[in-house]
Amino acid sequence: MVDVVPGGRGSLTVDVGPSVTAEQLLGPVDVVAPSLLGCWVVTDRPEGQVALRLTEVEAYSGAGEDPASHAHRGPTPRAAIMFGPPGRLYVYFSYGVHWCANVVVGPEGRGSAVLLRAGEVVAGESLARSHRPAARVSRDLARGPARLTQALAIGPDDRGADLLDPASPVRLHTGPPPATVSAGPRVGISVATDLPWRFWDPASDTVSAFRPGGRRRGGGAGAGSTP
């Protein structure tokens, strides 16, 4: 079915499902993360709308459980949003050079989040290209966490946005899951490297290149991930 994505600044006709619900995000992070593959992230900006289909994500668990997560030391000022209700957008600056976007999952107080690593831009491509002029081909528009936020124009002003609210400028919609899901180690971390908590659609060419290891700068919900 073709739906009109709700938004106050215009309409974008794409094949998306209803908004993801909080109940869909309440499970363990390593279960919720792969369920987000195939979902749509839609941004509604004054200059127009962009929609992409998620093809790669990473799971980061709550306080005291995952040393690679920003939540490992509890609800610090930086990580406080991770302990909020599910469906909030956790945006942080990585390596001092680019923004990364995460979906808070699990019950409030848990501190888990899913890093949005890559996606396929399916609507609003011309606007996404204006945000990512360095991309030579369509598959590279959101191929990696930094490129994804650039293509969607996600930045610090979106920190804490409610992705489940139809009136939000950044929204998360359900979509058809991939036929198969692959899992493997997370990218660019130097601790908890044995957890197969990166999930991707093996049929998509938008999945980012795997680079194991990396310098740890304060942990991550994606910290150390390469753009």
Span 46-101, pLDDT tens digits? 999 999 999 999 999 987 889 999 999 999 988 999 999 999 999 998 866 789 99
More confident residue, 77 or 119: 119
**Domain residue spans of the chain:** 3-200
Residue 222 has pLDDT above 70, yes or no: no
Q: Which CATH class is domain 3-200?
A: alpha beta
Give the mean model confidence (pLDDT) for residues 161-173. 97
The two tokens of residue 38 are 């195939």
Residue 211 has pLDDT above 90, yes or no: no
Q: How distant, in Å, are the alpha carbons of 20, 52, 181, 184, 227 from that of 99?
A: 23, 17, 26, 23, 9
Return d(Cα 119, Cα 200) in angstroms, integer: 10
- Strand, helix or coil for residue 206: coil
Residue 213 has pLDDT above 80, yes or no: no
Nearest to 145, CA basis, from 204, 210, 59, 57: 57
Return d(Cα 64, Cα 52) in angstroms, integer: 33
Nearest to 68, CA basis, from 58, 76, 54, 78: 58
At residue 62, the pLDDT reads: 86
Q: pLDDT tens for residues 18-50?
A: 999 999 999 999 999 999 999 999 999 999 999
Give the mean model confidence (pLDDT) for residues 197-221. 75
Residue bearing tokens 């093809």: 55
Neighbours of 179 (CB within 10 A): 9
